Amino acid sequence: MNTENITHDLASFAINTRYEDIPAEAVDEVKILLMDSIGCALAALTTDKGKMTVALSKRLGGPPESSIIGMKGKVSCGSAVLANGELIGTVDYDATMAGGHAPPYVFPAPLAMAEISGASGNNLILAASLGLELSARVAAAVQQSHGAGGLTDEKKQSFSWGTRWGQAYSNFGAAAAAGRLINLDQSAMENALGLAGHLCQVLTHERYTMSAHRHMTKYGVPGWQNTGAIDAVLLAQMGYMGDTTVFDPDEGFWKFVGYEEWHPDIMMADVGKKWIFPRVNYKLYPCCGMLHGALDCFYKVIDRYHIMPEEIESITAYCHPSVAQPCFVNPEIIDIPDAQFNPHYVFAVAAHRVKIGVEWQDPHMMRDPRILEFGKKITCIPHPEFGKKGPGGFPLFLSKVEVVARGQTYTEESTGPRGAKRGTELKDEELVEKFRHNASRALTQNEIDSAVDAFLNLEKLSDITEMMKHVSKL
């Protein structure tokens, strides 16, 4: 397969696809996904990490081009994407899809460019759809799709945690989306894609997984990577020559970034005919998704039987095999990554029925003696049958909890977390309520109502500023 043709064909797809070419389900998904992602960013504003990110973005400043979500005033597009990428991903509440946490890696760049170019709602939907699609396709090529709409075959649908994993591939999608909004031509778009492959982060996911020291960068820094996408687009617009053979099968992107596999034939199959980025897995809980199935089971038990925390003697949660890795087993609770990856803490706040949301990551909650002491009652281990084949031959995301209370054992099982498999999708109304709660610390009720209306009717907006003014204090 000719590598220059790959870059040419992807660039052509990015510049020639029309709004009318996007499947209706993709249009609807982008609107809801954008709302969910911006809601996650608004929730993050009250966290220490969120405050630091915003402060740095304002310090870097620049010409008043683009908004920081939830904040007054504007900064340069590069400073805005730095803050917004970090804000969307901070609370670990953002959606996952083909490859992983795409929203914080893809959305900030087109959001910033949409403000600069005065784009309409349709323009933003089109650009975001293109960005998500390219991200998902490159994810499939490096075999980073774990059953969330990618092109991988059956044997690749199981999630292999911690093996040269990372979101570097999303930079192609972010650059394509931003480039479309400023109308890059064919040559410039090819150069932008070539640059984007070089202006991305290293694969740090494995480092996080295998380290007992949980840190704020977790498995990547999406805000920083978005600055690479923005730079790629602006440089290409000026005539900067990018690596248009970046998809070389021997020494190209996959190799120099560090992925273990490269399948360009999968990436290019039916481009423009079959859209693969839907369906999206929305998160019910602000913590690592590997714990979600067991949390679903736990809530069913304590709600069905009205079990109070003081009645619980022990909880055994059977989860994804990754819970045996160091990032899950360290019992300390110091900062928000600990609140997201520590099953002792996560099940403790759930048992005490702490409001689901950023409240789980409030400093006073992470210091609460009741929560910390209760965490000692919890055991989290890999489900012994995780990944066994279910209907259609696909592996099942098996989860189970055993709650010992009132002198008996209550058991509940699940074949997959809510929001992450067909038949358990979250309804739009549920996601609107999630947004409302996430936005409640940053926006007034009237602002929230206006924002929801703008998201749900995004295709009707003549200027994206009409949406941003509801969520960024313009």
- Clarify whether residues 177 and 305 are in a common domain: no
- Clarify whether residues 226 and 164 are in a common domain: yes
Of the candidates 392, 380, 388, which has an alpha carbon nearest to the alpha carbon of residue 415? Answer: 388
In the sheet that holds 408-414, the strands lie side by side as 378-382, 312-319, 399-405, 408-414
Contact of 162 with 156, CB cutoff 8 Å = no
Q: Cis check for the bond before 279: say yes or no (omega within 30 of 0).
A: yes
For residue 150, CA distances in Å to 139, 261, 427 come to 8, 15, 22
The CATH number covering residue 443 comes to: 1.10.4100.10
Q: Where are the alpha helices (DSSP H) in 17-102?
A: 24-44, 48-60, 77-90
- Clarify whether residues 303 and 441 are in a common domain: no
- Indicate the pairing of strand 312-319 with strand 378-382: parallel
Amino acid residing at 111: L
Instruction: Tokens for 462, please give them.
Output: 């003549």
The CATH number covering residue 322 comes to: 3.30.1330.120
- Clarify whether residues 81 and 139 are in a common domain: yes
- Kindly state whether residue 422 falls inside one of the protein's structural domains: no
- Clarify whether residues 120 and 240 are in a common domain: yes
DSSP classification of residue 376: G
- Clarify whether residues 133 and 217 are in a common domain: yes
Q: What is the Rg, in whole angstroms, of the alpha carbon atoms belonging to the chain? A: 22
Tell me the pLDDT of the chain (474 aa) as tens digits: 565 689 999 999 999 999 999 999 999 999 999 999 999 999 999 999 999 999 999 999 999 999 999 999 999 999 999 999 999 999 999 999 877 899 999 999 999 999 999 999 999 999 999 999 999 999 999 987 644 333 344 434 444 554 678 999 999 999 999 999 999 999 999 999 999 999 999 998 888 888 889 999 998 999 999 999 999 999 999 999 999 999 999 999 999 999 999 999 999 999 999 999 988 999 999 999 999 999 999 999 999 999 999 999 999 999 999 999 999 999 999 999 999 999 999 999 999 999 999 999 999 999 999 999 999 999 999 999 998 888 888 788 899 999 999 999 999 999 989 987 556 789 999 999 999 999 999 999 999 999 999 999 999 999 999 999 999 976
For residue 179, CA distances in Å to 13, 122, 278, 404, 419 come to 12, 15, 22, 56, 32
Domain region containing 294: 289-414
Q: Read off the pTM.
A: 0.94
- Kindly state whether residue 358 falls inside one of the protein's structural domains: yes
The 3-state DSSP class for residue 367 equals coil
Contact of 169 with 144, CB cutoff 8 Å = yes
Contacts of 123 (CB under 8 A, 6+ apart): 19, 114, 117, 181, 464
- Kindly state whether residue 420 falls inside one of the protein's structural domains: no
User: Which of 383, 414, 445 represents a domain boundary (last residue)?
Assistant: 414
- Kindly state whether residue 399 falls inside one of the protein's structural domains: yes
- Clarify whether residues 319 and 403 are in a common domain: yes
- Kindly state whether residue 172 falls inside one of the protein's structural domains: yes
Instruction: State which H helix or E strand residue 408 sits in.
Output: strand 408-414
- Clarify whether residues 316 and 377 are in a common domain: yes
Instruction: Tokens for 75, please give them.
Output: 């900064």
pLDDT score for 144: 75
- Clarify whether residues 151 and 11 are in a common domain: yes
- Kindly state whether residue 429 falls inside one of the protein's structural domains: no
- Kindly state whether residue 26 falls inside one of the protein's structural domains: yes
- Clarify whether residues 47 and 137 are in a common domain: yes
- Clarify whether residues 263 and 296 are in a common domain: no
- Kindly state whether residue 217 falls inside one of the protein's structural domains: yes
Number of domains in the chain: 2
- Clarify whether residues 269 and 363 are in a common domain: no
Contact of 3 with 243, CB cutoff 8 Å = no
pLDDT score for 390: 86
Of the candidates 314, 301, 333, 282, which has an alpha carbon nearest to the alpha carbon of residue 399? Answer: 301
Q: 20: how many CB neighbours lie within 10 A of its CB? A: 7
